[in-house]
A and B are shown apart, each in its own frame.
Chain A
Amino acid sequence: MQHNRHPVGFRAALPHTAGWYQTRAINPLCGDEIELAAHLQPCQTAIDQPALLLSELVFCGDSCAICTASASMLCAQMPGQSARQAAPLAQQFIDFVHQRSPLSDQRLQPLSVFAQLQQLPNRKSCAILPWQALQDVLAAVNKSEHQ
């Protein structure tokens, strides 16, 4: 409820300056629609290889409390990850919501509150939407890097 009322990373509009990548995600079953923007900046890993670091995440849109809270927690927990690590972490959360596997990564532990969705199976897609959006934006960045 706290994350719904005071969402981390919520903006009236997404930034479009250098380093920001945007995506839009819609849940066609219910009409939830969010836009997510990720700021990625180059960094050097410990083994001196270039990588992209997810430095900030923001979102906007009109969505239900569960989707808003999930997006807020995404924006709170994911900055500081490399782009390469972030996509599997997103999948870990999605799998957790679908009860396919537990939340093993420490960074995702605050999201264990979404275990309550087992009692609200119709609302799982609301929680997953922002994380699918993160996967989409990372995939798009990855694709443009390889082109």
Chain B
Amino acid sequence: MSAVISEHDARTQHWRDDFPLLSRQVHGKPLVYFDSAATAQRPRQVLQAMDDFYRQHNANVHRGVHSLSGEATDLFEAARRKLCQHINASSEREVIFTRGSTEAINLVAQAYLRPLLQAGDEILISHMEHHSNIVPWQMLREQTGAVLKVIPVTDSGELDLQALPELISERTRMLGLVHVSNALGTINPVREVCALARRHGITTIIDGAQAMPHLAVDVQALGCDFYTMSGHKMYGPTGIGALYGREALLEAMPPWQGGGEMIRTVTFEETTWNDLPAKFEAGTPNIAGAIGLGAAVDYIAKIGLDAIAAHEQDLLQFATDKMREIDGLRIIGEARDKASVVSFVIDGVHPHDLGTIVDHHGFAIRTGHHCTMPLIKRFGLPATARASLALYNTRHEIESFIPALRQACDMLR
């Protein structure tokens, strides 16, 4: 191992030390976790925050008059406040906790768009969407007779911006776009697309699940109407995420799910709804999850997204250069603007077999269609292998990945 690589990795070793799981072994080899786009690992600060809540402050939120309930409520709402500030939402009323990005998209589809849609109205999404930003609109299509149109993706894995204006019509009601593609790493020009949509009076929903761990997100600067987030992709726990929605839109929407918390008064004759954000948070929320998400926001903010992005971009370039040295390896997704995701195929080597073999060397990569079946099919492939890198990955890990890849090729070709 060269001295230059060691020095580079030494600068970020203290980040890595925050993640207890990274010290474990797999098949007797040190774990190298290259699957953060599937789920990120959790730093001890997030684990501690959730553990502290359950050990010291556990109570239900909002409704109790006793001290413990007050403490739980304060911690829960503090998490909301942190997320609100992190994405520069103009008010905490605009941040709705959900189970994740998928639920947030479904909420918008059913509670915002469905009441507005007429048969023949159009919903525009891109060819690189995750299934979570395809299927809810397909379901809406079945329910309302709306039409789904798809913005093409170029061979390099970028949005075909030239084709986009032609797809917009006076019937277009919603434009859904992924901010960062989980399969390709492409960072989409969300601000420009939202500006175009606004000029045509089209509501926008941006899937930010993969963007939040890699980029600074300012929803006001982006100019989107809705933005969805997923806690476990951004070093937070599973089972929690959030929907940002412009207050005027959320105010006008009917509730999503009914139950406790989201009501003001209930009689059998009539029920009135609570204010935002509670209107969209029926039932006891994932309190510990929200607190964990708040701790994840703190963690990211403490390191700084600029520093994270710089590190990840260095890893991305390093990995891309090293992997291109392997005969027959083709990188899928070569956008000019990419997050640290490398999807690839190797001639004569099926991704699943590759994934199984490198797993035996301790490497966790993802193989398959990555919940983007239309996109993978667009590239004429049954599947790809994907290495997705996060703040705790190192150049050393990438260096050691290459011989494992070569060995897999030797075995299978």
Checking B350, B368, B369, B373 against A63 with a beta-carbon cut-off of 8 angstroms, the contacting residue is B350
Residues facing A in B336-361 (CB within 8 A) are 350-353, 356
A31 and B382 form a contact (CB under 8 A): yes
State how many angstroms separate the Cβ of B364 from the closest Cβ of chain A. 12
Q: Is A64 an interface residue (CB 8 A)?
A: yes
For B376, the chain A residues whose CB sits under 8 A away are 31
State how many angstroms separate the Cβ of A134 from the closest Cβ of chain B. 20
A65 and B350 form a contact (CB under 8 A): yes
A120–B353 CA distance with the chains assembled, in angstroms = 11
A126 and B368 form a contact (CB under 8 A): no
State how many angstroms separate the Cβ of A29 from the closest Cβ of chain B. 7
A32 and B352 form a contact (CB under 8 A): yes
B368 and A30 form a contact (CB under 8 A): yes
Closest residue of chain A to B354 (Cβ to Cβ) is A64
Known: A31-B369, A31-B376. A63 touches B382 (CB 8 A): yes
For B41, the chain A residues whose CB sits under 8 A away are none
Known: A31-B383, A33-B382. A65 touches B367 (CB 8 A): no
Closest residue of chain A to B353 (Cβ to Cβ) is A65
A1–B408 CA distance with the chains assembled, in angstroms = 13
State how many angstroms separate the Cβ of B40 from the closest Cβ of chain A. 21
A123–B369 CA distance with the chains assembled, in angstroms = 16
B356 and A30 form a contact (CB under 8 A): no
Q: Is B266 an interface residue (CB 8 A)?
A: no
Q: Is A58 an interface residue (CB 8 A)?
A: no
Interface of B is mostly: helix
Known: A30-B367, A123-B356. A65 touches B382 (CB 8 A): no
Closest residue of chain A to B383 (Cβ to Cβ) is A31
State how many angstroms separate the Cβ of A26 from the closest Cβ of chain B. 10
For A29, the chain B residues whose CB sits under 8 A away are 368
A32–B352 CA distance with the chains assembled, in angstroms = 9
- Encode A16-60 as 1/0 by CB contact (under 8 A) with B: 000000000000011111000000000000000000000000000
Q: Please tell me the number of chain B residues within 8 Å of chain A, measured between CB atoms.
A: 14
For A74, the chain B residues whose CB sits under 8 A away are none
A66 and B353 form a contact (CB under 8 A): yes
- Encode B119-149 as 1/0 by CB contact (under 8 A) with A: 0000000000000000000000000000000
For A66, the chain B residues whose CB sits under 8 A away are 352-353
- Encode A58-81 as 1/0 by CB contact (under 8 A) with B: 000011111000000000000000
State how many angstroms separate the Cβ of A30 from the closest Cβ of chain B. 5
State how many angstroms separate the Cβ of A48 from the closest Cβ of chain B. 47
A65–B353 CA distance with the chains assembled, in angstroms = 6
State how many angstroms separate the Cβ of B347 from the closest Cβ of chain A. 13
For B310, the chain A residues whose CB sits under 8 A away are none
Closest residue of chain A to B376 (Cβ to Cβ) is A31
Most buried by B among A1, A31, A120: A31
B368 and A65 form a contact (CB under 8 A): no
For A1, the chain B residues whose CB sits under 8 A away are 411
Q: Is B412 an interface residue (CB 8 A)?
A: yes
State how many angstroms separate the Cβ of B130 from the closest Cβ of chain A. 15
For A64, the chain B residues whose CB sits under 8 A away are 350-353
State how many angstroms separate the Cβ of B169 from the closest Cβ of chain A. 33
A122–B383 CA distance with the chains assembled, in angstroms = 16
Closest residue of chain A to B350 (Cβ to Cβ) is A64
B383 and A30 form a contact (CB under 8 A): yes
Closest residue of chain A to B413 (Cβ to Cβ) is A5
Besides A30-B352, A63-B382, A123-B356, 9 other A-B contacts (C-beta < 8 A): A4-B412, A30-B367, A30-B368, A64-B350, A65-B350, A66-B353, A122-B356, A123-B352, A126-B352
Q: Which residues of B approach A to under 8 Å, CB–CB?
A: 350-353, 356, 367-369, 373, 376, 382-383, 411-412
Q: 8 shortest A-B CB distances, which residue pairs?
A: A64-B352, A31-B383, A64-B350, A62-B382, A65-B353, A31-B369, A30-B368, A31-B382
29 contacts between A and B (CB under 8 A): A1-B411, A4-B412, A29-B368, A30-B352, A30-B368, A30-B369, A30-B383, A31-B368, A31-B369, A31-B373, A31-B376, A31-B382, A31-B383, A32-B382, A32-B383, A33-B382, A62-B382, A63-B350, A63-B382, A64-B350, A64-B351, A64-B352, A64-B353, A65-B350, A65-B352, A65-B353, A66-B353, A120-B356, A126-B352
